[in-house]
Amino acid sequence: MTAFTEIKDRADAALCRTYTRYPVGVRSALGSRIRDFDGREYIDLLAGIAVTGVGHCNPEVGAAISGQLRKLVHVSNLFYQEEQVLLAERLAATSHCSRAFFCNSGAEANEAAVKLARRYFRKVRKQDRYEIITLTHCFHGRTLAALAATAQERLQDGFEPMPPGFRQVESGNISALKAALRPESAAVLLEVVQGEGGVRPLDADYLRSVAALCREKGLLFIADEVQAGLCRTGKWWSFQHHGLEPDIFTTAKALANGLPMGAMLCTEEAAQGFDYGSHATTFGGGALCSAAALAVLEIMKRDRLDERAARLGAWARERFAVVSARFPGKIREVRGLGLFMGIELGFPGKAVWERLLEKGFILNLTQERVLRLLPALNIEEADLEAFAAALEETLAETGA
Ligand SMILES: *Cc1c(COP(=O)(O)O)cnc(C)c1O
């Protein structure tokens, strides 16, 4: 078997320089365990960035994939396929939205949402409205339109010009949103819990005001559920915590437990924005990924992973608060919703993150100070307890 250092050198030579990777080569993974090239086992609190929601190499999803592999993989969207239709119906049953467009990633799902919003105003309402308003600290993906929506200078640097038609306002500030509205404003696009931005759940009153303002001014309300959706926050979709009904929402990450799949869901009214031929994708909604996603939804529903995420997340945040109380100043805030959790340190967290990795815990550091936890929804409580103990030990060792 190839050694880790050799693969690392070959990766540096053969791959584009886009990722600063963790110093871990992964050989295999099962449930909430990852095994590296030397056979060392880690507790995985990241789940492939909120992707393997029902655990690595989930056997039921694996059985659905291998069964489908022998039946039908791909014929394109020129044909009717039962797996895709079933998936659209099952997704529709989880929310107020009744129509789906399938694609291959979160960014693509957001692209579809932006295109639908623009075309809805042009063709259905006969209005020249196209501008999408987003919030500071948001993240909507890396294609040019998704990057324009994300509007972070650091991510856009060197890639200008950005496509026009996007405007950003301060998150949490309803007056700023009101002041930003123009005749050309078409939609507000937001994450109910901002993920890459540092695990920031938006305020309930603010969210309700945004939805009400959209209704009053005739804008579409779009929720990006790519990270927060599919039971992670304790509800099927995070907007359901606040009784909101967005006209459009997007999903991806956990949808097919690691196979690439995204979807845009919308109401019957918003769906009028697309007509036959308006938008397309070669791979989107293929039978293989659809079969995997059907298995994922079945497991989430049967095992009530929404309720489990709510319960376990509440327990974990209380446990982290106990750690926080032991080290005043070292932890600034413990926040999140369900199993979408952030622990903001009072100092840059690279050393703490490295120490936790050495101790065998995989998690993510975002915004320099926020330890982000996105474990599988079926992770054992004991794994979260082990992490809490390791965090306690690490903070005791760390001088900052
Ligand atoms: C990850 C993410 C995206 C982008 O998804 P990709 O599959 O990487 O294109 C978009 N929005 C949110 C909220 C995300 O977390």
SS3 sequence of 48-68: HHHCCCCCECCHHHHHHHHHH
Q: Which atom of ligand 1 is nearest to the CA of 49?
A: 1
Whether residue 399 has pLDDT greater than 80: no
For residues 36 and 22, the answer to whether their CB atoms sit within 8 Å is: no
The CA 196 to ligand 1 mean position distance, Å, reads: 9
Q: Which atom of ligand 1 is nearest to the CA of 196?
A: 15
Whether residue 260 has pLDDT greater than 80: yes
Q: Which atom of ligand 1 is nearest to the CA of 260?
A: 7
Is residue 221 very low, low, confident or very high in pLDDT (cuts 50, 70, 90)?
Answer: very high
Give the mean model confidence (pLDDT) for residues 172-197: 97
pLDDT in tens, 229-259: 999 999 999 999 999 999 999 999 999 999 9
CA distance 370 to 242: 25
Q: Which CATH number fits domain 59-302: 3.10.20.90, 3.40.640.10, 1.10.10.60, 3.20.20.210?
A: 3.40.640.10
Q: Which CATH superfamily is domain 3-57+305-329+342-381 in?
A: Aspartate Aminotransferase, domain 1 (3.90.1150.10)
Q: What is the pLDDT of residue 328?
A: 87
Domain edges within the chain: 3-57+305-329+342-381, 59-302
Give the mean model confidence (pLDDT) for residues 72-89: 98
The mean of the pLDDT values for the chain is 97
Q: Which atom of ligand 1 is nearest to the CA of 138?
A: 13
Nearest CA to ligand 1 atom 11: 140
Q: What is the pTM of this model?
A: 0.98
Our mutation pick for probing the ligand 1 site, out of 225, 226, 374, counting the most ligand atoms within 8 A of Cβ, is 226
Q: What is the pLDDT of residue 398?
A: 82
Query: What residues are in contact with ligand 1 under a 6 Å CB criterion?
Result: 105-107, 110, 139-141, 191, 195-196, 224, 226-227, 252-253
Q: What is the pLDDT of residue 400?
A: 54
For residues 180 and 169, the answer to whether their CB atoms sit within 8 Å is: yes
Nearest CA to ligand 1 atom 5: 106
Q: What percent of the chain has pLDDT over 90?
A: 98
